[in-house]
């Protein structure tokens, strides 16, 4: 994955997760370590870290689901 494409997706994930929800997180970071696709394999190595201002497990699961959906979009393009 090119650095330009990597930066695009990092920014997109930040925008999708944080826009309108800034008050939910103490910190949020996301980085691609490695993404490789081929007809016979799929490697997705990402680092996601977020600290919630609340201890609401539902909000944490919603965040993980959003990131998962965005990664699915990335991998199908």
Q: How many domains does the chain have?
A: 1
pLDDT for residue 55:
64
pLDDT for residue 28:
83
CATH classification at residue 42: 3.30.300
Closest CA to 76 of 47, 37, 48: 37
Range of the domain at 14: 3-76
Tokens of 58: 């539902």
pTM of the model: 0.65
pLDDT tens series, the chain, 77 aa: 677 888 888 888 888 888 887 777 888 888 888 877 788 888 888 888 888 777 677 877 888 888 888 888 877 76
pLDDT for residue 34:
81
Cα 56 from Cα 43, distance rounded (Å): 30
Across-strand partners of 77? none
């Amino acid at each position: 994955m090119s650095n330009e494409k990597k930066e695009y997706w990092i920014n997109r994930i930040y925008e999708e997760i944080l826009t309108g929800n800034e008050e939910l997180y103490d910190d949020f970071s996301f980085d691609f370590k490695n993404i490789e696709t081929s007809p016979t394999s799929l490697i997705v190595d990402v680092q996601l870290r977020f600290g919630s201002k609340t201890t609401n497990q539902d909000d944490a699961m919603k965040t993980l689901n959003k990131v998962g959906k965005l990664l699915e979009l990335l991998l199908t393009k």
